[in-house]
Chains A and B, each alone.
Chain A
Amino acid sequence: MKGLLSRTLLYYLVLSSAILTLSGPGFYLLMEKLYLDDIDEAILLRRDEFLKNKQPLLKTTDISTWNRFNRDTRILANNSSKTRDKIIQEIFYDEMVPEWEPYRVLYKGIQIQKQPYVLMIRLNLVESQDLIITLTWLYVGGLMILLLVIFFITKIISNRLWQPFYETLKKIEKFNIEQKNAPILSTSNIAEFNKLNAALNKLIGDNMKAYQIQREFTENASHELQTPLAIFQSKLDMLLQQPSLTVEQGEIIQSLYEASGRLSRVNKNLLLLAKIENNQFPEIETIDIVEIMNDVLPYFEEQCLSNNLQIKLNVKAKQLVVQANRGLCEIMINNLILNAVSHNLPNGIIIISLGANKFSVSNPGIKSLDPETIFKRFSKVSPNAHRTGLGLAIVDQICLVHNWRIAYSFEKKIHTFSVTF
């Protein structure tokens, strides 16, 4: 991917070198043609001059003398098969230099004392060609310098012109919809960029509003559900007190309990997510992850015992101190271990590793989960009714607010979730 500026300059470079390569020969050909026209004109002038002034006075006996003194205007015997009355290009051997050199030549039939002869007028092209080549080089050199100058000017101007654009881009890149504040896009004196900024401001504003409404909706809905849930659960508790309860009715009540329990857990977790998103856990303190892990482990060991699972600890650091919210940290560690407990294989193991700045939980599994959706809300893979499908979404959100990195991998039939602090 190339930047806007380098792309502009690249186009410029390609086009200017195309112009240079095409215009060089073009210029050369044009110059040559102009020069040949000139030479031809000179030849015609000499012909006219010869016909008017020289021919009437010449005698056949003068011809050899004439030819001795005139190298370029000669009178030849009428036995040449050369094209007549038309200027052609021909090479002659020059004894002076000595080499073959190009000439423009005109052959014309004439009469001297009523005898037919051929007049040959020629002009050397060597000097002129040197001139043309020099001119062409001058032209190409000038053009090249001009293009180079334009190249650098374009570069400087573009840099300055696009400055507001790059500033906007930088701010937009840093923007995250979960922030409270929209970026302030500065105004420039270029109408298009101002329009762009205005459009972006509107877009960001609308998005933030929509996001806010969505967030508030989740929070309000969960809040409003708490009281009816409380009523529902209390009525179930009352129903359970009926002395005439049969076994069948008991079973129905049990499944109602399970459903309401699940409902209130989903609700509680949605509320928790909304609270994390709303930064309602601002208290940051220095905490030791090792210590938190040791606090929660006994509970999971008990759970694992009844599920025939084995916990393996792989603690490489004595302590792992981070700046974080204690409650959220506990929830994150709980959720990660919980996840490994509930998605484990029968008689499986759970490996909890602690490094210098990394905490990870692994458990065996059958196939890889989709790393794209695994941290999304309600992306459940198992039909386990006790899970809400929000545990990993909460972990993800907690990592986000603390600027930690959560990663998932599946290697050698082992799922691993790791948090890098």
Chain B
Amino acid sequence: MKVLIIEDEKELATSISDYLKTENYLCEFAETFSSAMEKIQSYEYDCILLDLMLPGGDGLKILEKLTRQNKQDGVIIISAKDSVDDKIRGLQLGADDYLPKPFHLSELSARIYSVVRRKQFGNSNTISFNELQVDFLGKEVKVDGKSVPLTKKEFELLQFLIGNKSRVISKIALAEHLSGDMADVLDNSYFVYAHIKNLKKKLAEAGCRDNIKTIYGVGYKFQP
């Protein structure tokens, strides 16, 4: 899968690329407005990460061009300017998601995963890991064909873990993902721990093997 990272901050771009590489994403970089324009003209990407503030031009112009050419690339805007206007304009111009900086790579990866899945498997967005079957569209989880009832939070959690398959996700990133704008709250680790525990318990009871590993008390990892 091909990802284009349009971002002038080299260090951030390489981190993103390194993180995504593990899951067989092939990343290309564009650091300026003109090189980004060139690349989207000549190639197709599964997902484009677009920073709005670029040397040489406004990132939204790139988005306009993509829409004009009717390209099917998924676009996630990554911006240091957490502005509602930009977000609305970006989404109106055809971006699939908007992620303000600073973000966790796991959050980004989960979003790329869901954008790509949506684009590629629009109608039957289902994935299987051995006996575990997840339907992203129907928000349903099955183990050996039997449905496992999960709460909304537990499903979100599982989706996030799958979007970061084989990589360690920090507890903090999980907490921020689950509580959204309200991550400022108290001690979130217990909150995350409780949800993970419930999810693991439900899957284990349904006969699923333990795919969710705890890493050094720092985070979790989905390793089917």
Contact = CB atoms under 8 A, between A and B. Distances in A.
A25 B194 CA distance: 98
Contact of B170 (A232, A257, A338): A257
A241 B185 contact: no
B135 to A, nearest CB: 25
A253 B104 CA distance: 14
B34 to A, nearest CB: 21
Interface string B95-107: 0000011111110
B184 interface: yes
A231 interface: yes
Interface string B1-42: 000000001011001101100100000000000000000000
A80 interface: no
Interface string A295-331: 0000100110011000000000000000000010001
Nearest to B189: A254
A235 interface: yes
B218 A254 contact: yes
Contacts of A230: 9, 12, 80, 101-103
Contact of B185 (A223, A234, A281, A386): A386
B200 interface: no
B9 A227 contact: yes
Contacts of A351: none
A258 interface: yes
A264 B107 CA distance: 15
Interface stretch (A105-113, A118-126, A244-252): A244-252
Interface residues of A, number: 50
Interface stretch (B54-62, B81-89, B115-123, B140-148): B81-89
B179 interface: yes
B208 interface: no
A238 B19 contact: yes
Contact of A238 (B105, B171, B188, B215): B105
Interface in B132-178: 167-168, 170-173, 176
Nearest to A390: B184
A334 interface: yes
A234 B167 CA distance: 13
Contact of B187 (A250, A386, A388): A386
Given A234-B15, A246-B216, A386-B185, 17 more contacts: A223-B81, A226-B80, A227-B80, A234-B105, A237-B105, A241-B19, A245-B215, A250-B217, A254-B171, A257-B170, A257-B171, A258-B172, A302-B191, A306-B190, A306-B191, A331-B181, A384-B186
5 contacts: A237-B104, A240-B215, A247-B217, A250-B216, A265-B184
Interface of A: 223, 226-227, 229-238, 240-241, 245-247, 249-251, 253-254, 257-258, 260-261, 264-265, 268-269, 271, 280-281, 299, 302-303, 306-307, 327, 331, 334, 338, 341-342, 384, 386-388, 391
